[in-house]
Amino acid sequence: MNTITKVRKIEFKVTLDAQQRQVFEHHSRDLRFIWNTGLACIQWREWWEKWQQVLESPDRVGYEPETVPINWACNIVKSPKKKKKDEESEKKVYALACDRVQYRLEKTTNLELGTGEWTEPRKDRNGKIDEDHCWVAYPCKPEPVREHWTEEPRLLLLMKNPYMALRTMFAKKNWDPETVEGKIIHGLNTAWVAGECKALGDAWSSYKSGVRKRPRFKKRHDRSNLINPSSKQAKFSGNSLTLPGLGRVTVKGLQQRWGEKPACPIALIKEGDEFYLQLTGELEIPVVRSNKVTIGIDPGSVRLATTDNGAVIEAHKFGKQMTRRQKKLQASINRKLRLNSDRVYDESDSSRFYLKPRKNWKRKNLQKVRTKLQKLSAKTARQRRAYNHFHSTRIVQSADVIIMEGLELKNVTRAVKKGKSGEHNKRKAKAGLNRSLLDNAIGQFYGMIEQKAKDAGKVTARVNPFRTSMTCNKCGFSDAKNRKTQAGFHCQKCGHSDNADRNAALNIKRMGVLGVTKLTFDNDWNITVPGWIEPGDLVALHSKGLKPVGTAKKRSKRAGKEHPSQLALEIGSQ
């Protein structure tokens, strides 16, 4: 069988002895300090840059740029439409918004002082910054800059990926071992510190390029991991591996699945109370053969997916069973918290209170239950991932062109039908839970398909799922009545009957083959795509770069109001 070399990540289970566990706990705790300090530094630099822009703006009056203010005050510009709400929020909310600093000075009366807390600017539904609700930032209460931050001009130069700046910043020679911070840094192994800096640098650069969300500060119960970005320090021999600071660990199946080739990076992850080793490196993987088949996939609300040839991938069953146990454990945690805390009442409102844990409460049992819960969710996630790997590989092997639904949150979260008032909340909560489990699975599943298809040199495309489940695949008639039950599709016009999901998958496939990213309709809900032809034209798809289109807005209102000629085809040409 032919093989090619690709960069892959493989996970192994490892067992650590008591001493190694201790080293791990110690490191993961102190690396959190590195992450949080580094992130605070980066954010400070970001504020500082914005402040420079404020200084350069012509509207600045009355504030002298001698010092960089740490405290800022912000206000909301009143919206003419929602006056009442805004008056309330105007009093409450004051924060520093860095992505959007308006350089306009308002009247300085009624200003509340902010302490530089981070908030994102408000955005409207389309992701545009909401002009009516935008923040106005004022420099106020100028304070001398804290010395610690000004010592780091390097960070300013390297804001895109601050990895090297962070490395220099957390180098041992820059920290006095007598201070508290110095003690922490001198007690850490350099390899893992480098890994933490790399992780933070990468997280920041992918946030800046819009791939990931803004990195957050790490908390006590966040998942802990150690990363070693270098391949030099780890020594492989047989089934054991020497890790910096930890010594030799035995890894099950290392020889068989990895051998002794270098791995970079190496990550050690704790899930619950178990440890996993992730190795990334070049691996030989078999070439997936080409077979000139196009496939359409429809994600179901009950199933994970259905393909156009009728193959059904059921939703994994692990989640449901686990959810029940997770709920029990969560209830136990809540109970423990409740029983060991005192109620502290709000001074202004005696009906409101919060729980304050007692000081001498020993939390050993709470920690035990938390570990159990973590283990359980980690297990569910692993099972789901394995399940998705299995099926995504099979799908990529089975076809050359894979057409899927454009996944956007609004498309996926479907409305829950209204019930009686008592029932409603219950049903909503249940549906939400099931959906969220399934949504995670679908997102991951599609991601895997796209990645694997890319590696194998195959094509994937996303289309808008607007009315694909209601439209007849034989005649192009679209009506909600076509789908009377969850599973069955029966066309009201031509009488064609099929499995509902399969019918939708066929529509999705056909759209992909035609190079149409969205279905359009005339007044009778007949499809207006010219040349509603049989699928199978691979060339058309390859020549046109398909792209996903936005969500369908106001579905019900659109019907009959616009003339068919206005509903132009959206051909995905790039």
Q: Whose Cβ is closer to Zn ion: residue 228's or residue 482's?
A: 482
Question: 328 or 493: whose CB is closer to Zn ion?
Answer: 493
Pairing of strands 266-271, 225-228: antiparallel
CB atoms within 10 A of CB 61: 6
Structure tokens at 117: 């807390």
123 DSSP assignment: B
Select the span of 257-265, 386-394, 407-415, 474-482 touching Zn ion (CB under 5 A).
474-482
Q: Is 500 in the site for Zn ion (CB under 5 A)?
A: no
Cβ of 162: how many Cβ atoms within 10 Å? 25
Using the minimum distance from each CB to Zn ion, give the nearer residue, 208 or 496.
Answer: 496
Compute the Cα dihedral for 249, 255, 256, 258 and give only its sign. positive
CB of 481 to Zn ion, least distance (A): 12
Element spanning 131, H or E? none
Single out the segment in contact with Zn ion by CB under 5 A; choices: 105-113, 216-224, 287-295, 484-492.
484-492
Q: What is the residue-wise DSSP string for 64-112? A: -TTS--S-EEEEEPPPSS-HHHHHHHHHH---EESS--------STT--
Binding segment toward Zn ion, per CB under 5 A, in 58-66, 106-114, 367-375, 464-472: 464-472
Closer to Zn ion at the Cβ: 379 or 493? 493
Return the number of the residue (189 or 478) whose C-beta is nearest Zn ion.
478
Nearer to Zn ion, 318 or 477 (CB): 477
* Residue 496 binding Zn ion, by CB under 5 A: yes
Chosen residue from 475, 538, 549, 567 binding Zn ion by CB under 5 A: 475
Question: Which residue, 322 or 527, is less far from Zn ion as judged by CB?
Answer: 527
Q: How many residues bind Zn ion (CB under 5 A)?
A: 8
Q: How far apart are CA 390 and CA 313, in angstroms?
A: 11
Q: Does 506 bind Zn ion (CB under 5 A)?
A: no
Least distance (Å) from Zn ion to the CB of residue 475? Answer: 3
Instruction: Pick left, alpha or beta for residue 108 (phi over 0 → left; psi -120 to 50 → alpha; otherwise beta).
Output: alpha
Q: Tell me which stretch binds Zn ion (CB under 5 A): 66-74, 379-387, 492-500, 545-553.
A: 492-500
Using only C-alpha atoms, the chain has a radius of gyration, in whole angstroms, of 28
- Least distance from C-beta 493 to Zn ion, angstroms? 5
Nearer to Zn ion, 161 or 482 (CB): 482
**Nearest distance in Å: CB 500, Zn ion:** 13
559 binds Zn ion (CB under 5 A): no
Contacts of 112 (CB under 8 A, 6+ apart): 73, 91, 94
Q: Is residue 515 within 8 Å of 523, Cβ to Cβ?
A: no
Q: How far apart are CA 156 and CA 153, in angstroms?
A: 5
**Angle CA 395–527–509, to nearest 5:** 10
Is 494 a binder of Zn ion (CB under 5 A)? yes
Q: How far is the CB of 473 from Zn ion (least distance, A)?
A: 8
Q: Which two tokens stand for residue 465?
A: 């799922």
Q: Which residue, 391 or 509, has its beta carbon nearer to Zn ion? A: 509
Binding segment toward Zn ion, per CB under 5 A, in 7-15, 119-127, 330-338, 477-485? 477-485
Give the DSSP H/E element, type plus range, for residue 242.
Answer: strand 240-243
> Smallest distance, Å, CB 498 to Zn ion?
10
CB 489 within 8 A of CB 513: no
- The nearer residue to Zn ion, 163 or 477, going by C-beta atoms, is 477
Give me the least distance between CB of 485 and Zn ion, in Å please. Answer: 17
Angle subtended at Cα 279 by Cα 257 and Cα 240, rounded to the nearest 5 degrees:
65
Tell me the closest approach of the beta carbon of residue 195 to Zn ion, in angstroms: 58
Nearer to Zn ion, 43 or 503 (CB): 503
Of residues 49 through 78, those in contact with Zn ion by CB under 5 A are none
Q: Between 162 and 296, name the residue whose CB sits nearer to Zn ion.
A: 296
d(CA 296, CA 305): 10
Mask for 333-352, x = binds Zn ion (CB under 5 A): --------------------
Decide: 100 and 129 in contact? Cβ < 8 Å: yes
431 contributes a contact to Zn ion by CB under 5 A: no
CB of 552 to Zn ion, least distance (A): 21
Closer CB to Zn ion, 374 or 473, in the complex:
473
Alpha-carbon distances of 59 from 56, 97, 102, 104, 137, rounded to whole Å: 9, 18, 10, 6, 12
527 binds Zn ion per the rule CB under 5 A: no
Q: Are strands 118-119 and 96-97 parallel, antiparallel or unpaired?
A: parallel
Which pair of structure tokens corresponds to residue 200? 């933070």
**Chosen residue from 166, 203, 404, 472 binding Zn ion by CB under 5 A:** 472
Task: Indicate the residue among 196 and 308 with the shorter CB distance to Zn ion.
Answer: 308
Q: Does 491 bind Zn ion (CB under 5 A)?
A: yes
DSSP state of 259: T
Interface stretch with Zn ion, choices 208-216, 424-432, 490-498, 522-530 (CB under 5 A):
490-498
Evaluate the CA torsion angle 317, 318, 321, 323 in order and state its sign.
Answer: negative
Whole-number minimum distance, CB 528 to Zn ion, in Å?
15
Smallest gap, in angstroms, from Cβ of residue 79 to Zn ion?
A: 48
The closest of 182, 174, 163 to 265, measured between CA atoms, is 163
Span from 53-61, 241-249, 257-265, 496-504 in contact with Zn ion (CB under 5 A): 496-504
Does 474 participate in binding Zn ion (rule CB under 5 A)? yes
Residues that bind Zn ion (CB under 5 A): 472, 474-475, 477, 491, 493-494, 496
